[in-house]
Amino acid sequence: MHSKRFLAALLSVALAMPPGAFAQSTGGVAITPGTSSSEAPLVSGPSDEHAESILPPDIARGVFGTYGGAQSRFSNGGASGSNGGKTGSNDWRAPIVAQQLPDLGSGGAGSLTPQAERKLGERVMRDIRRDPDYLDDWLVRDYLNSVAAKLAAAASALYIGGYRPDFELFAARDAQINAFSLPGGFIGVNTGLIVATQTESELAAVLGHEMGHVLQRHISRMISNGERGGYAALVGVLFGVLAGVLAHSGDLGSAIALGSEAYAVDSQLRFSRSAEQEADRVGFLLLAGAGYDPYAMPTFFHRLDRAAMNENGIPAYARTHPLTGERIADMEDRARRAPYRQPHQDSEYGFVRARAGLLQGHSRSEYADEISRLRSEIEDRTALNVAANWYGIAYGQMLLERYDDAAASLANARATFVSSARAEGEPERDSPSLDVLATDIARSAGHADEAARLAEFAQKRWPQSNAAIDMHIRTLLTLHRFTDAQALAKNETRAHPDQPAWWLYLAQASAGSGDALTQHRAMAEKFALEGAWPSAIRQLKDARDLKTIGYYDLATVDARLHEMENRYKEERLDEKG
């Protein structure tokens, strides 16, 4: 799955919308090109007045209007001290305005509202979830979202960003080193990126950069700038990008040039450069604020810069996130000024990294090759994490249906994991990755009683792990314990109604237990989350036509059917423009 396809889907939705379709209300006052709104720009924290934004020397003033925001409470504007109460820009924790972020335009008038941005992101995610390269692997998703939660907590503590989206990270089966942000807090991470990192801090550095794009609402402001520059110019830019995507072009600037005027090209490229610089600096604040190694960002950038080039002569990440010596030097300078602290690396990082290496394979031969590589690293003593390598070998052997070998390799992984903890003076530790894989091996090998015991044990040990819950439900379905699976799936649909997987499990368990009404209603919700409205409506009509349906259930189904039919009509009207 390539991020270009995601971009194409996103821009197709944007092109289908009329001018101002997602615009924020300005209280009835029209905003025309050349005029400015009295609305406050996007700020980094609570404020009483606007501060002048500071531009890097290569960005002309006035190109994007006012951005940067006002003093945050970290500026200590009213405090006394040797600085006269002012926070210098050489402080890594200085407010956003003091971090010399580039001017990208107002985050206010004419931009997508946060609600509309989330809605747009959800529409794009429907298509992404249907892509065969979308990885619906809970162990990877749980881990990525745990890292994002730490970075988001740092954003809140440092008052970074103008709003607080619910970040949702997911993985894509793609060996290219890349990650990409979508509207509304959705962030995709290629398996190739996870494998290419060498520490959790390096992975967190890239995730922080992508979260910086979201927190600073770059997509919203790009569309806003396009509206202020004329909708026709925006359409030209978007069609140019689409043409580049369809032509498999890695050069965004050339793609834009295919469909826009020179001034639009210049503005778009300036925005891209400035947005990357701003995302770097916001990402660095998140990285350091969350307790990760601040040197991880320049270190990973340096390694990408030296990485082998692809067929176009530019690394995949650099094509969508242009790396420059100035960006790397800026991050190195900030890392030197950041206070040192010993970074803690979650033990799950190594297991997820090894798992991602297997998940990006498509065939038995690729699984075998990855197993050989992991084993060679152990033998050559070049493995970054020996326990993680044994875990990857065990997972690969399970995929190859070598269950006895997989169980033995997993035992090696667990033994190495425990012994390394003791060597480091840590208490004995456990891992959801190890427990979930043990269940999966037993289930796949047909060891029913052992699988049931391990699944129940894993969920009790890791009650917040979606991966453990998912494996428990799958094990119950495999053992035809449909009533237990239905009860567990119902709990998850109540707790997380926005996840299609839980509705699918509920439908499967209900079908097995003979509960046709719940089966149809659950499938309807799954299809609705995927945007398959005709299929969702058909399921509810089938539920309504059941002879055994009661009066209250019929009223509930009718109300939901009416709601889905209205949503379907609204979306069809949106698509027609």
pLDDT tens digits along 100-129 = 444 444 444 345 788 888 888 888 888 888
Q: Are 502 and 471 in contact (CB under 8 A)?
A: no
Residue 576: is its pLDDT beyond 50?
yes
Q: What is the pLDDT of residue 10?
A: 55
Residue 277 pLDDT level (bands cut at 50, 70, 90): confident
C-alpha span between 349 and 417 (Å, rounded):
13
Q: Give 297-344 pLDDT, tens digit per residue.
A: 888 888 887 664 444 555 555 455 555 677 778 778 888 888 877 777
In the block, tokens 């810069």 appear at: 305
Task: Pull the structure tokens for residue 372.
Answer: 């050989």
Mean pLDDT, residues 560-575 taken together: 91
3-state SS of 329-373? HHHHHHHHHCCCCCCCCCCHHHHHHHHHHHHCCCCHHHHHHHHHH
**Is beta strand 134-135 parallel, antiparallel or unpaired with respect to 168-172?**
antiparallel
Cα pseudo-dihedral 499, 503, 509, 510, rounded to 10: 160
In the block, tokens 């440092």 appear at: 158
- Dihedral angle sign, alpha carbons of residues 380, 385, 386, 388: negative
Mean pLDDT, residues 29-33 taken together: 37
Q: Who wins on pLDDT, 488 or 58? A: 488
Q: In a 3-state reduction of DSSP, which class is residue 189?
A: strand
Q: Any residues with CB less than 8 A from the CB of 548 and at least 6 apart, and which?
A: 516, 517
For every residue of 143-170, DSSP letters joined together read HHHHHHHHHHHHHHHTT-SSS----EEE
How many CA within 13 A on the CB side of residue 91?
14
CA distance to 95, 160, 285, 479, per residue, from 156 (Å): 13, 6, 11, 45
Mean pLDDT, residues 78-102 taken together: 41
Longest pairwise C-alpha distance within the chain: 80
Q: Are 15 and 104 in contact (CB under 8 A)?
A: no
In the block, tokens 């439900």 appear at: 473
Q: Are 355 and 392 in contact (CB under 8 A)?
A: yes
Least Cα distance to 9 among 218, 241, 227, 197 occurs for 241
pTM of the complete model:
0.75
C-alpha span between 341 and 519 (Å, rounded):
52
How many CA within 13 A on the CB side of residue 112?
24
C-alpha span between 36 and 559 (Å, rounded):
45
Task: Pull the structure tokens for residue 234.
Answer: 């925006």
Domains of the chain: 3-337 (no CATH), 482-577 (1.25.40)
Q: In degrees, to the nearest 5, what angle opens at C-alpha 571 toward C-alphas 568 and 573? A: 110
**Is beta strand 168-172 parallel, antiparallel or unpaired with respect to 186-190?**
parallel
Q: What is the pLDDT of residue 145?
A: 96
Query: Lowest-confidence range among 204-218, 230-244, 425-439, 466-480?
Result: 230-244
Least Cα distance to 454 among 469, 467, 436 occurs for 436
Residue 153 pLDDT level (bands cut at 50, 70, 90): very high
Q: Any residues with CB less than 8 A from the CB of 140 and at least 6 apart, and which?
A: 171, 194, 352, 355, 356, 359
Least Cα distance to 354 among 404, 402, 409 occurs for 409
Q: Who wins on pLDDT, 22 or 498? A: 498
Task: Pull the structure tokens for residue 530.
Answer: 């995927």
C-alpha span between 89 and 100 (Å, rounded):
7
Q: How many residues does the chain have?
A: 577
Q: What is the pLDDT of residue 317?
A: 53
For every residue of 419-484, DSSP letters joined together read HHHHHTTPPP---HHHHHHHHHHHHHTT-HHHHHHHHHHHHHH-TT-HHHHHHHHHHHHHTT-HHH
Residue 568 pLDDT level (bands cut at 50, 70, 90): very high
